[in-house]
Structure 1
Amino acid sequence: MEPNCVQFLQDKTILVTGVPGFLAKVFVEKILRIQPKVKKLFLLLRAADNESAMQRYDVGLRINTFGPLNVLNFAKKCVKGQLLLHVSTAYICGEQSGLLQEKTFNMGETLNGHGKLVIETEMEIMKQKMKELHKQDCPEEEIAQTMKDLGMSRAKLHGWPNTYVFTKSMGEMLLGNQRENLPVVIIRPTMITSTFSEPFPGWIEGLRTIDSVIVAYGKGRLKCFLADPNSVLDLIPVDMVANAMVNAAARHAGKLGSQTVYHVGSSCKNPITFEQVHNLAARYFTKKPLIGRDGSPIIVSKGTILSTMAQFSFYMTLRYKLPLQMLRLIGIIYPWWDGNKYKDIDRKIKLAMRLVELYRPYVLFKGIFDDSNTELLRLERKEVNKEMNDVFQFDPKTIDWEDYITTIHIPGLITYVLRK
């Protein structure tokens, strides 16, 4: 009989990377709260990021791709190493549709099937481009944009929508290829949100995933957004992800040669659509509006959801871009014209375009994340943990989305992020 999670953690030595990240904090807090007799926790602290924006592709490769390999090599040297648990992201699937399986990547696999992905080549391309830009003595802003564009172009060349999921995918490939006999568990959470219940409901750190849209809407800055109203937003509270991690570690520790992927999300068992989230946010901020700088309540409208880029571009042109061009033309004709007249419009355009570019792969997403492995883990651990099931809850079917969004998540955003 396998030990329950509390028993499993007793006298264990655990190395936790990614501290002081949001998920890592919740994971460490959970361990210390439920098992004070854990032997040792080694926390690998992330140093202050002194890297300039120009090296974001350089940094993505080193952290998301080669970082897991470095940890794996360290783990293989540990005398009694039992398990490597790696947190990735469900969205390494790119923009695929349908039911997405919990399967591993093969080394060199691409999402579009065009050619073979060679990780060392990607690193060399990045290094050569950086060397070339420095040799040309380019300004930092130009280097930053060039490296950002390079990362996006390399990602899209192989079928991924952005640099982040591209580099995370390569990290998984390296783990699978180099793991040898060490048991490896890959946790792929979807969009991580505030705590469902532990250590208390609604705690969150910084704006995460869809939260930028919710806050911008609540502040009255977002009148229109690109999204398919029927697209499923796969949200999952952070404490459920941490609970799944503990359960998976207890399940696979010491099982030599195994490699298992777990999707931790809600789209398969308890889906919620973008339109539902939008309606809940509209209802919340209508009843409990945020307060503007002038001390008056911010009135929100229902807003406009456009389901294609063509519709969104047309809307932005009619509502903002044409008026902005006219205001700028007035400024050219009349030098005395106050340029501040069009700054607010320009700011709204930039905010909307930035959010659209960031969320486009997700708000138009047509995939559902299969969680068969995770469901099996839930069922197995339910029997083992018995009376402690509530302590390790990670079943998305227990989430009442209306209650969670309106009484836990949005209030948590206001309290812990907006500080109001």
Structure 2
Amino acid sequence: MVTPTAVAPPALTTVNEMYEGGQILMTGATGFLGQILIEKLLRSFPRIKTIYIIVREKKGLSAEQRIDKMFRNVIFESLHELMPHFQLKIKVLNGQLDAPNLGLSPEDRSLVMSKVNLVFHCAATLRFDEELKVAINTNMYATQKLLDLAKQCSNLRMFTYVSTAFSHANRKYIEEIVYKPKTHYTELLKLAEMDITHPKYQEARDRLSTENINTYTLTKAAAEQLLHEEATYIPVCIFRPSIVVSTWSDPIPGWIDNLYGPTGLVCGAQAGIIRSVLADPNVKADLVPVDFVANALVCAPWHARQSYEKDNSSMPVYNYVSSKDNPITWYDFSITSQKAQLSIPSSQGLWYCFVLLTKHRTVYFLQNLLLHYLFGYIFDTCSWISGNKFRLLPIYDKMSKVVSALEPFSTKEWTFDNRNVEQMWNQLSSSEQNRFPFNIESLNWDDFLDRYVRGTLVHHLNDKMDSETRIKAKKRYTRLTVAHHCAKSLLYACVVLLLWSLLKYILW
């Protein structure tokens, strides 16, 4: 047996003990899940010493400026009140995950190796249509280099890798195990060294396009294999959430800062510009609230460490999904969301809110043409005549790409095993279950989707919830509703008139 690099600390019987004196290294801290995770860790474990976060410069802002801006976000308001000086626990490391040695200075690498005892690797490129080389460098090469660094941490308690429940989407039944992909991860890493114009690279890219749903799931599956083979006898666990959406309640209800997954479509429907979506109404929508995800992610290292204490070759996998224990179909998601949207309409909506779901590409194509592009051409022509730029047509072009990327997830469903997640929940004490609620069975979808819709309205459409704005919004929506029904009646009348004219011509 290979002797582990890390020195095993005493058994950790509670989640609190796992984070006692914690010195945590985190990637993806500025991302959606990363922000919620940082907030939860600092608020729940005041005895955490330091959280080291690897951040790069972006859009003219230094790493430190990006973090300062992030902590001004509304989700950190309660933390500012409880721990006014919590930022003293944050150590920003200037780095670049796809660069050699993660772009870290020798001093920062030495600091990490001597101090860090927990690692959360949350960073990834989430674009489904990402260029293969970029996806490999971001999702695989960075994982390999971070693991190499973690192996040199003398007091490592756990390395937690955030993957996705759909990493092996080419399978119908997905267990909590690491599967062996058809293409070995080393072959993918070699591809990243080639120029994208190289014939061998292009041939491989075409071949790999059918191995998994997209470059995101392909490289996440390969990263899991990489960990399975290169992290032998190192404390590692893999956490696989499904489609992550807004918070349910913690730290505030309905918070979300991105338009990934169904959120962009929900916002478009609220604004009255999206009316058709390619989705099978009967397929389960595997959605999970980000605060539940963060709670389960906080507990995963503790649970995985217990497995490691019993068998240091174990690498627990956690499928965090909703479809098994608390399913909701895309039809129910759509109907419930629309009810919430009707109760709190947008004050800036362009049309009446309604969404049609279809699993048929031809039907979607016709609906997209008539309900989106025709409307867009009319609206943008009027806008152009008024001296303004086109607004809707660029949105519909982007939306078509989003719908195409989401099609595998909205028209297909999987069966997941989540016994490790269930065991983790059952092994928590009642007080810890109250502190870190992630039992998906407790989620009330009607209540959650109402908060989700309100959150997208406030945080994405920049709408307000004060009484004056709400009154104006309802009056505006009443006018749009009347206009919608008048337009629909006029359309029906035209169709009837056309059919009558054709019938009259044929018979007489």
TM-score (norm. length: structure 1): 0.80
Corresponding position of 2:433: 389
| Selected match of 1:157 from 210, 222, 232 | 210
1:96, 1:366 within 8 Å by CA — same for their partners in 2?
no
Please state how far the C-alpha of 1:232 moved relative to its aligned partner: 0.8
Per the alignment, in what secondary structure is the counterpart of residue 284 of structure 2? coil
Mapping of residues 151-230 of structure 1, within 5 Å = 153-158=206-211, 160-230=212-282
| Selected match of 2:143 from 64, 68, 76 | 68
1:192, 1:235 within 8 Å by CA — same for their partners in 2?
yes
1:161, 1:361 within 8 Å by CA — same for their partners in 2?
yes
Per the alignment, in what secondary structure is the counterpart of residue 252 of structure 2? coil
Note the alpha carbon deviations across 1:208-244, whole angstroms, 9 max, x for none: 3210110111111112111100111111111111111
CA distance in 2, matches of 1:239, 1:352: 27
CA distance in 2, matches of 1:354, 1:310: 16
* Distance change >3 Å, CA 162–CA 396, structure 1 → 2: same
Q: Say whether 1:118 aligns with 2:174.
A: no
Please state how far the C-alpha of 1:319 moved relative to its aligned partner: 6.0
CA distance in 2, matches of 1:187, 1:400: 23
2:270, 2:346 within 8 Å by CA — same for their partners in 1?
yes
1:152, 1:162 within 8 Å by CA — same for their partners in 2?
no
Note the alpha carbon deviations across 1:64-99, whole angstroms, 9 max, x for none: 0121111111111111222111000111122543x4
| Selected match of 1:311 from 353, 363, 367 | 363
Corresponding position of 1:333: none
* Distance change >3 Å, CA 245–CA 151, structure 1 → 2: farther
CA distance in 2, matches of 1:15, 1:341: 48
User: Which amino acid letter does the alignment assign opposite residue 192 of structure 1?
Assistant: V
Please state how far the C-alpha of 1:317 moved relative to its aligned partner: 5.3
CA distance in 2, matches of 1:267, 1:303: 23
> Which stretches in structure 1 are left out of the alignment for 5+ residues?
111-116, 134-146, 326-336
Please state how far the C-alpha of 1:182 moved relative to its aligned partner: 0.6
Please state how far the C-alpha of 1:130 moved relative to its aligned partner: 2.9
User: Which amino acid letter does the alignment assign opposite residue 269 of structure 1?
Assistant: D
CA RMSD of aligned residues (A): 3.2
Stretch of structure 1 that moved more, 197-206 or 65-74: 197-206
CA distance in 1, matches of 2:197, 2:254: 46
Q: Say whether 1:398 aligns with 2:451.
A: no
Corresponding position of 1:114: none
Corresponding position of 1:27: 37
* Distance change >3 Å, CA 210–CA 324, structure 1 → 2: closer
2:344, 2:454 within 8 Å by CA — same for their partners in 1?
no
CA distance in 2, matches of 1:35, 1:355: 38
Identity %: 24
Mapping of residues 265-304 of structure 1, within 5 Å = 265-292=321-348, 297-304=349-356
CA distance in 1, matches of 2:304, 2:369: 54
CA distance in 2, matches of 1:131, 1:210: 34
Per the alignment, in what secondary structure is the counterpart of residue 225 of structure 1? strand
TM-score (norm. length: structure 2): 0.67
CA distance in 2, matches of 1:318, 1:21: 36
1:92, 1:169 within 8 Å by CA — same for their partners in 2?
yes
* Distance change >3 Å, CA 49–CA 131, structure 1 → 2: farther
2:270, 2:353 within 8 Å by CA — same for their partners in 1?
no
Corresponding position of 1:367: 414
* Distance change >3 Å, CA 341–CA 93, structure 1 → 2: same
Corresponding position of 1:88: 163
Greater relative contact order (Cα < 8 A, sep 6+): 1
Note the alpha carbon deviations across 1:339-380, whole angstroms, 9 max, x for none: x99967744652442222121011112213221111111111
* Distance change >3 Å, CA 354–CA 13, structure 1 → 2: same
- Structure showing greater radius of gyration is 2
2:238, 2:316 within 8 Å by CA — same for their partners in 1?
yes
Please state how far the C-alpha of 1:55 moved relative to its aligned partner: 8.4
Please state how far the C-alpha of 1:314 moved relative to its aligned partner: 4.2
* Distance change >3 Å, CA 323–CA 185, structure 1 → 2: closer
* Distance change >3 Å, CA 402–CA 125, structure 1 → 2: same
Q: Say whether 1:416 aligns with 2:459.
A: yes
Stretch of structure 1 that moved more, 124-133 or 277-286: 124-133
CA distance in 2, matches of 1:230, 1:316: 21
Corresponding position of 1:264: 320
CA distance in 1, matches of 2:354, 2:374: 23
CA distance in 1, matches of 2:24, 2:376: 56
1:151, 1:162 within 8 Å by CA — same for their partners in 2?
no
Corresponding position of 1:77: 152
Per the alignment, in what secondary structure is the counterpart of residue 128 of structure 1? coil
- In the alignment of these two chains, the number of paired residues is 377
User: Which amino acid letter does the alignment assign opposite residue 174 of structure 2?
Assistant: L
CA distance in 1, matches of 2:372, 2:245: 32
Please state how far the C-alpha of 1:170 moved relative to its aligned partner: 1.0
| Selected match of 2:194 from 112, 116, 128 | 128
Per the alignment, in what secondary structure is the counterpart of residue 409 of structure 2? helix
Please state how far the C-alpha of 1:266 moved relative to its aligned partner: 0.8
Q: Say whether 1:358 aligns with 2:405.
A: yes
CA distance in 2, matches of 1:323, 1:202: 30
* Distance change >3 Å, CA 21–CA 349, structure 1 → 2: closer
